[in-house]
Amino acid sequence: MASVFVYGTLLESEVVRILLNRNPSSSPAVLRDYRRFSVNGCSYPAIIPEKNKKVEGKVLFGITDPDLRVLDAFEDFEYDRSVVEVSLMDQNQPRMLQSFAYVWSQKDDPRLEGEWDFDEWRKKYVEEYLKSVKEFREEYDASGSNGVQ
């Protein structure tokens, strides 16, 4: 089983539930030396390495290989699944954990601009986004990518 640090649309538990058909346990976490950006023309964010910055998010626990295949397909070619070290923030003392995170594959992409705001995204885009996630999952299941024939 793996863990995955999420920092954008996957902070919305309903997005995770649709993608994974469940809501895995999670913990608030911080990823240091990365920065979260808005992607011009998209409703989702990207992270890239940047010294002295940090990204707040959460870690999803108990992620199976089939879950990772769904997430890999969902994140598509724009992201690389990378191993990162995050600080879990749910205890009195932060605890470090190695986890996967989806890092933007083009760190010099001119579409990266400004900060991405989860609360703003929820207000403006969550309903439309949930529809597209449901469509993605239906297409994923129909394609046989999930190992079920």
What is the pTM for the complete model shown? 0.93
Rounded CA separation 78/43 (Å): 14
Q: For the chain, give me the number of helices (H) and strands (E)?
A: 3, 6
* Residues 31/7, Cβ–Cβ less than 8 Å: yes
Strand ranges for the chain from DSSP E: 2-6, 26-39, 45-63, 79-88, 95-104, 112-113
Q: Give me the average pLDDT of each 10-residue run along the chain (149 residues).
A: 97 98 96 97 95 97 97 95 93 84 95 95 96 97 69
Identify residue 116 by its one-letter amino acid code.
Answer: W
Region class of 144: left (phi > 0), else alpha (psi between -120 and 50), else beta = left
Q: Identify which of 62, 71, 76, 69 has the alpha carbon closest to the alpha carbon of residue 146.
A: 69
CATH class as words, domain 2-143: alpha beta
pLDDT of residue 148: 46
Collapse the DSSP code of 38 into the 3-class scheme (helix H, G, I; strand E, B; otherwise coil) and give the result.
Answer: strand
Catalytic residues: 75
